[in-house]
Every structure is written in C-alpha cells, then in structure tokens.
Amino acid sequence: MQIIETQRLLFRTWEDEDAGVFARINQDPKVIEFLRGPMTLMEAQNFIRANNQCFEKDKRCLFATVIKETNELIGFIGLSSPNFAAHFTPCVEIGWRLVSTQWGQGYATEGAEAVLHYGFTESGLNEIVSFTVPANLRSVRVMEKIGMQRDVKGDFAHPKLPADHRLSQHILYRKRK
C-alpha cells in the first residue's frame, strides 16, 4: 500500500517479494559498514513482517522505498521506535538504508524530508530523533540537511553493543515539530 509520494520516490508497506532484494541490499559491505553485520533472507522476511505490523498498529514504519520511474526497491526510509532503553527513549527515530548504487542521488534527503513531514503531520509527533556512529558522515549529512540538530549531551553508548565494540558510540540528532 502506497503511503507517501515525492517527486521521484514512492513509500509503501512491504511485500513478501521484497525480501530477496532487501536481503541483498543488506549484504553489501558498503551498506552494512556501520551496522552489526549482513542480513539473511530469513532476517529480511522477519524485518518485513515486523514493519508491516508496526504500520498496522501505528500507521508508521520503515517504509519500502521505490524509485517511481523504474519501480526499483532501493531500501527503506521511515520511522520506528527503538527497542532499547536509553536516556532519550521512548521516542520515534527516522532512519534510512539505501542500496549503495543509488547513493549520491539525493534520495535519502528527499525521502527523509517527506517522512519527517509525515511524522509531524500524519502521526502527530512533536519530536523525531536520529542517531548513528560518528564515522557515518553520509548519514550525518542527511540529518543536517533535513534540519536536525545534534544533541551533544545526548551522545550515548548503544546498549545492544559491548562498550568496547567499534560501533558502540553513537551521536544523537533531534528535530522538533
């Protein structure tokens, strides 16, 4: 089901057929550089199921993101609620993960702006956060381009990773309605 449309992108709920493409996206070393590791087909299927359930419940999720012109699934851009405890949770996070062959086209920024608008208007949110590791400069640039502000006092060690893990330290960005 299509939820959001921009000039070049469509955002929809997930289809079972998306699992193979999404798993392949999540096996690309460039895509998973700042993630805990690759995703199997079964994990992609579980991700799809969980996000569709989230949409049914809250009318928001990490939306399947498709290029309008080609109907190519390029990953996700959307909203989710982190499933861990931190000083800023509970909250709603904006996130994105796109196939590396489409990086540099402005899709993440275009999509994130539309998803922020959706979160503030359709979901009635007052604040949306985003976080990543400091080295993920591409995501940091997207956060800044969409008007998010770094909360320097909000930086944190990700509770799902050992403190000495190379991806443990995260920086926090926020945007209020």
How would DSSP label each residue in 87-144?
A: TT-S--EEEEEE-GGGTTSSHHHHHHHHHHHHHHHTS--SEEEEEE-TT-HHHHHHHH
How far is residue 98's CA from residue 31's CA, in Å, rounded to a whole number?
A: 7
Instruction: Report pLDDT for 98.
Output: 98
Task: Tell me the sheet residues that pair with 73.
Answer: 66
Mean pLDDT of all residues belonging to the chain: 97
pLDDT value of residue 41: 98
Percent of the chain with pLDDT over 70: 100
pLDDT > 90: percent of the chain: 99
* pLDDT for 28: 98
pLDDT, average across residues 115-131: 97
Distance separating alpha carbons of residues 122 and 33, to the nearest angstrom:
33
Q: What is the pTM of this model?
A: 0.96
pLDDT digits (tens, 9 = 90+) for 39-66: 999 999 999 999 999 999 999 999 999 9
- The pLDDT-based confidence of 110 (bands split at 50, 70, 90) is very high
Per residue in 79-106, pLDDT (tens digit) is 999 999 999 999 999 999 999 999 999 9
What single-letter amino acid sits at 6?
Answer: T
Question: Going from the N-terminus, what domains does the chain have, and what CATH number goes with each?
Answer: 2-176 (3.40.630.30)
Q: What pLDDT does residue 172 have?
A: 98
Structure tokens at 176: 């209020």
Confidence of residue 68 (pLDDT cuts 50, 70, 90): very high
Please state the φ and ψ torsions of residue 58, each to the nearest 5 degrees. -115, -5
- Among residues 32, 41, 131, the alpha carbon closest in space to that of 88 is found at 131
The confidence band for 141, taking pLDDT boundaries of 50, 70 and 90, is: very high
Kindly list the distances between the CA atom of residue 132 and the CA atoms of 56, 95, 97, in Å, as whole numbers in the listed order. Answer: 27, 9, 12
3-state helix, strand, coil in the chain (%, to 5): 30, 25, 40
What are the pLDDT digits (tens) for 1-14? 999 999 999 999 99
* 111-134 b/e (C-beta count within 10 Å ≥ 16 → b): bbbbbbebbbeeeebeebbbbbbe
With tokens 């959706």, the residue in question is 118
Helix (H, G, I), strand (E, B) or coil at 16: coil
